[in-house]
Amino acid sequence: MAFSRINGIQHLGVGTADLVGTWKWYRKHFGLDIPMFDSVQEAPLMDVYTNNETVNKRAAMILNIQGGCPVEVVELRSNPTSEAKFEVQLGDLGIFAGKVKTPNFDAAAEKIIAANDGVLGGVESLPNGGKVLNMKDPNGLHFQLVEGDQFFSEGPHLTGGTAGCLIGSSDIEKTKKFYAALGYDEVVYESEGVFEDFKHFPGGEGKFKRALLKQSNQPGGGFANATGITWIELVEALDRTPNKIYQDRIWGDTGFVHIGFDVKGMDQVERNLSAIGHPFTCDSSNGLHMGKTRVHCTYVEDPDGTLIELIEVYKIPLMEKWGLFLNVEKRDPLKPLPNWMLKTMRFSRVKDDYWEKKNI
């Protein structure tokens, strides 16, 4: 059998009508200040999720080099951006919240609460005793500040980047099996009831099942030292019928558009997922170019239709303005990139005038 591996979560995708404003907010609160790419182009790969019409979009993959996963911010240029036609509630089907990790929870929470910029309630406790602070961004999308470890470098920010997400499920046991096939096979906690840390979310005062999942294997891939441990939390509403968050909308509309996973050996990954009833729904075949980044992208759906992007990376920019790129196609898939190489990306941090100078 050909080698294949799903290394772990690579990024979280966010759709917005205001890429610049959203990015500035993420830079301020989550330290997402390094663009891995930032370009405008058509997205024919997504036709199956855009009413069979090719959309034009600006997309920026932004990283906090101190640790955690990037966020890909997407703004449709060819279509008006739609919001959900109902209030999205906890337990609705799809990605409800992103998780952002910090090495110093108390200091980070104090700063965010003092800024009073989208904070929902105060610090609460998770079922395993960990701390959490809930908030929402300018698009009304929810995020959870959580305690984390495996940070890559020190820097000016009190948080790292993203470290997973919270996903609504109609059948948590069925959904657990799917994410176990993606490597998230270890249950950190599982509980049922009414939860204090949910009460400030829309619909969060109801009764839920919840399960926090992580990888039993160590994260792999070139960026494993930077991304570290990630989590997927599944939430099932027990006292109401959930809606689909993206019902009657397209990819790129306001919300969490997908969660991306880093993989190696895409052909074998497809065979493995098809064997359990989850074939690819779209496939870029021989590599997409996003700016100077070259990747192979495919999509698959979880049991409730949540979009999962699978990415096999071939070429990435380390310092694009100086013409320094890395071809990772033939690298050992389990070997992380050297720390010095990753740290060169800090020279690409955006300054306050970046967006005016970029002007795209």
pLDDT tens-place string over residues 306-319: 999 999 887 665 55
pLDDT value at position 330? 62
Return the pLDDT at 119: 96
pLDDT at residue number 186? 97
pLDDT tens by residue, 334-357: 666 777 777 777 878 999 999 999
Domain of residue 110: give its range.
5-358
pLDDT in tens, the chain (360 residues): 556 789 999 999 999 999 999 999 999 999 999 998 899 999 999 999 999 999 999 999 999 999 999 999 999 999 999 999 999 999 999 999 999 999 999 999 999 999 999 999 999 999 999 999 999 999 999 999 999 988 888 889 999 999 999 999 999 999 999 999 999 999 999 999 999 999 999 999 999 999 999 999 887 777 777 888 999 999 999 999 999 999 999 999 999 999 999 998 899 999 999 999 999 999 987 555 454 567 789 999 999 999 999 998 876 655 555 555 566 556 565 666 777 777 777 878 999 999 999 888
Q: How many structural domains does the chain have?
A: 1
In this predicted structure, what is the pLDDT of residue 282?
95
Predicted local distance difference test score (pLDDT) of residue 153: 87
CATH number (domain holding residue 138): 3.10.180.10
Return the structure tokens found at 105: 């929870």
